[in-house]
Structure 1
């Protein structure tokens, strides 16, 4: 690896050390179904987002709730002396990307076959604090 790439990679790693995030790979749910739930909690405070996910009927909300709790735990590990309620954590960004597809065959009439695509996705949650929100609004 060249020195220029190494230096930029080190900058990215330093920036990621201050960010609390959690990532879930290869979730066997279609990305569209997961995005419907993710759009509901984007930008919400952490406690409100947990309540929304807990009482949501969608199957994807269970996995997102667990992922959000993991992101909170990651934030607490980096900020041991800080309190979650006082920090004012909120869901800064949440992205749902498509992952691998399992391709299966279903029989069809007259000797034909139809392809079934069993989709999966990757989910990433990044948490922010009140201070981050204020800084973002000041830049605008």
Structure 2
């Protein structure tokens, strides 16, 4: 990750490497991308909460997930609060908006606007499955 910021959950590079699998580390800590249509949550319709796989911060809820057919889980809005941060990304010869976990700075994916999806925000948070952990919503 190129930009150095301070986050509430801070670990050394070695600690992240010990905690995360090689694929998780490549995506979460090195801003990689998993191959399209290979992630475990791409087509999942299970109700629940999607949290950061690195630190456990709540990021998205299943009620904002939709099928965009892009190859990665898509959400039209993050969960309530300031748990995601948006950063200009000028890599790969284009200008995009990177989505990171605001608690630990891990790379989650990118957000796109104005693509014509029938969602309340007209935004598509395109998130790597390997960046997330889904837990069922408690019955109450």
Same fold flag (TM > 0.5): no
Which structure has the larger Rg?
1
TM tier relative to shorter chain:
under 0.3
With the length of structure 1 as denominator, give the TM-score of the two structures: 0.26
Which structure dedicates a bigger proportion of its chain to helix?
1
Q: Which has the higher contact order (CA 8 A, sep 6+)?
A: 1
With the length of structure 2 as denominator, give the TM-score of the two structures: 0.26
